[in-house]
Chains A and B, each alone.
Chain A
Amino acid sequence: MKLNNTQRIGLFAGIIGLIIPFFLNIPGLSEAGHVALGIFFLAAAFWMFEPFPIYATSMLVIFLQVLLLSKEGLIFTSPDATYSPDSYTAFVGTLANPIIILFLGGFVLADAAVKYNLDKNLTRILLHPFGSKPKYILLGLMVVTGLLSAFMSNTATTAMMMTVILPIIARLKKTDPLKIGLALSIPFAANIGGIATPIGTPPNAVVIGALSQQGINIPFGEWMILAVPLVIVALIFAWMLLLGMFKPETDSIQIDMSGSFNTSKNALILYIAFGLTVLFWITESFHGIKSAIIALIPVVFLTLTGVVTKDDIRKLPWEVLWLVAGGISLGISMKSTGLAEWIVGSIEWSAFGAITLLFVFSAVAIVMSNFLSNTVTATLLIPLAVSLATSGVAGDGFNLIIVSLVIGVSASMAMMLPISTPPNAIAMSTGTIETKQMAKAGISVGLFGLILVVVYAIFYWPLFLN
């Protein structure tokens, strides 16, 4: 394995960061808090500079916590006044956290949908009503992308939609700005669409995981009630922005997506499983069956019927589950060792109003996730926000659920650079867009997203959360 300079700095900073707290005596921080601080430094450095893949760092985080902070570990074998160590099962158990199981169900469904071409066939049908005017085609593409990425990964959705738009782009005149608009519309819509449901994208999982540890359960449908109106407004804004920035020259586009729905027995089983699962998910508030339990429907049903095979299961993106679990696990010890509270306590929060704080958290999340993984951004910020809210130092207007949502949603609003999200990277790799075009459009969406998130956090979300 060869590391570049940035990665070497990250490796070095991480190791130093892990060791230093062992030699310090920070007043007001428990001994376990020092250890947790070291692990936090290491995780932050490794996640930011990526000397190792981010999922590998997550695995390391879980291991280090078991080793250094659990009851069965090397240091804290019995509870004392400042720290009562969790069993190691608390850390490894994050891998079976309900949100992980929910994601597993989503993965199985999405994977089977791709296997039986459901994603592409749905796209074909759904695009139909949008006609042939470039303006509405662009809107149609964004709506469909947003919708699919709410249930599939943003990245897989983008890859599929590229197979739809690249032939269109190839037929356009070389100079038609619509090419750029099309190429940007897909990753933007995918990034935004991922916000819409709990399983849309991993930062949502980090938010839900963190809240569940505070004993707060957000049903699938309730998340959608909170998030979908924001997604719609953001999508419309991005659509108008791209239309304005890249005015189409052509006045008509033909989309020639031929094909028909797969009608094999396996495909039909998949359609039924998909429809039923989504139906039960969004009606969670009515029947009360938890979405993670519903997620077992596709897992069980599709494997029993052989629609999803052993090979398919082996190829699921397990590393994403580790990534989220590592994040949830880090949150456990930051809280139980008093580290998060100490970090929060070291800043004079009451000097800011609740609104300023929401604004700051949103801005920081958007900036960070433009450069870092969205999940890592959410993982690093959520424990602070949770402590801030639960400790009450930020005042009454600072609601735990709202600030968590602000961070989760903001992490998905970053789309300025090719490295901001995998969908951006895919769009960039087509060679249709220049970085500065993506940056200009992406910054506009980011700024709008910032304002949008804060407005929803102040005026809309409280309607459902109090």
Chain B
Amino acid sequence: MDHQIYILVIEDELEVMDALIKDLEEFEQTFPIESANNAEEAEQVVKSIADSGDEIGLILCDHVLPGKNGVEFLIELESDKKFGHARKVLVTGQAGLEDTIQAINKAHLDHYIAKPWNMEEFQKVVIDQLTGFVIEKKYNPMEFMAVLDSVRLAEALRGSKLTDH
């Protein structure tokens, strides 16, 4: 890869943030993690990632945040050409039906994780989403087989017309 694919975590409660980052540990080598405590900070992070030519593969976002809420942030990001493809996951206990509908319809939310989460299921969601992302972006599946869903990636590899040389 000539650039990094980040995981962006947005969460205002420090303990929850720590728990999320701990559960993301095994991905960090391949997908560096950036964290933000609120939507405004997240916008800064997004901007600096864009400036360095990198991209975001997955956003794990809390809904209730000080200032702009998570769903609003995701909707705004959806219209961003460079980051519209990023997989978007709400990790929350308090998004009401209306907000959730907004997130699905306007931000193309990819998944909803209810707090408290179970680590195994959480990691499965992360793997599924990132696998979908790298396949959709047509990145070389081989670079991700060791960390993500290797069977799906092998299937993608099979469809990618590999040749001997």
**Interface, chain A (partner B; CB < 8 A):** 54-55, 111, 114, 153-156, 158-160, 162-163, 166-167, 170, 194, 201-202, 315-317, 319-320, 323, 373-376, 421-422, 425-426, 429-431
Interface SS, A side: helix
The contact size tier of chain B is: 10 to 19
> Total A-B pairs in contact (CB under 8 Å)?
78
Q: What are 26 contact pairs spanning A and B, CB under 8 A?
A: A55-B165, A114-B159, A155-B162, A159-B154, A159-B157, A159-B158, A159-B160, A160-B158, A162-B150, A162-B154, A162-B157, A163-B158, A166-B151, A170-B150, A194-B164, A317-B161, A320-B165, A323-B165, A376-B165, A422-B163, A422-B164, A426-B142, A426-B157, A429-B145, A431-B146, A431-B147
B41: interface (CB < 8 Å): no
Give Cα distance in the complex from A160 to B151, angstroms: 10
**Is there a chain A Cβ closer than 8 Å to B28's Cβ?**
no
Give Cα distance in the complex from A430 to B151, angstroms: 9
Residues of B within 8 A of A156 (CB): 158, 161-163
- Closest B residue to A312 by beta carbon equals B161
Whether B164 pairs with A201 at a CB distance below 8 angstroms is yes
CA distance A185 to B147 in the complex (A): 21
Whole-angstrom distance between the Cβ of B18 and the nearest chain A Cβ: 27
From residue 127 to 160 of chain B, which have CB atoms closer than 8 A to chain A? Answer: 142-143, 145-147, 150-151, 154-155, 157-160
Residue of A nearest to B160 (CB): A159
User: Which are the 8 A-B pairs with shortest beta-carbon distances?
Assistant: A431-B146, A429-B142, A162-B154, A155-B162, A317-B163, A159-B157, A159-B158, A163-B154
Contact indicator A431/B164 (Cβ below 8 Å) = no
A325 CA to B158 CA in the complex, in Å?
Answer: 26
Whether the Cβ atoms of A430 and B146 lie closer than 8 Å is: yes
Q: Which chain B residues lie closer than 8 Å to A429 at the CB level? A: 142-143, 145-146
Contacts of A202 in B (CB 8 A): 164-165
Question: Contacts A167-B151, A426-B142, A431-B145 known; A315 to B161 CB distance under 8 Å?
Answer: yes
Min distance, Cβ A309 to any Cβ of chain B, angstroms: 14
